[in-house]
Amino acid sequence: MTQNGEADISDVIIRIVRGEVPWSSLRRYGVDVRKERNSWTWHLLPVIPRPVAPLATDVAAGLVALHSRPDNLKEWASFLLAASPFVTFDAVTASSQGEALLEVLWDIQSGRDQNDHATKIAERVLRPLSTNPELG
């Protein structure tokens, strides 16, 4: 948060990853994001000082938030995978389910998603550590 209580751009990017706000929210911060067919372009990236590193739980939350809206889910996955100028998935891949989450994003983006599979992986990630035998 900024001193005047507004969300800074890093907070907004995390909210996009969680599926809480659309990617178009970046326009408010001067980031011109355009999607044309299957490619994305970014302008005015200097407003993003360094890549944001969402956690596996952030990506999983986005999957859960958007799973009932397939078109939004596909666009969201496509956006995340193309957002390498300002999003790094290092923290995601460091988690036990990180690679599976990224594979799900690729599947969703390419139209090969099996929604039940994506939801199961997301739920495993979001399950508390004490109830997840795979993480415990």
Q: Does residue 54 surpass a pLDDT of 90?
A: yes
In a domain, residue 84? The reply is yes
Range of the domain at 99: 9-131
Residue 33 in this model has a pLDDT that exceeds 60: yes
Place of tokens 């000082």: 49
Residue 136 lies in a domain: no
Residues 6+ away with beta carbon under 8 Å from 119: 63, 64, 67
Residue 2 lies in a domain: no
Determine, yes or no, domain membership for 4.
no
Residue 26 within a domain:
yes
Q: Is residue 95 part of a domain?
A: yes
pLDDT at 5: 41
CA dist 59 and 54 (Å) reads: 7
pTM (two decimals) = 0.81
In Å, how far from its chain's centre is CA 62? Answer: 6
For the beta carbon of residue 120, count every other beta carbon within 10 angstroms: 13
Residue 124 lies in a domain: yes
Residue 103: per-residue pLDDT: 93
Tell me: pLDDT of 90 over 90: yes
Residues 60, 58: Cα–Cα separation, whole Å:
5
Domain total in the chain: 1
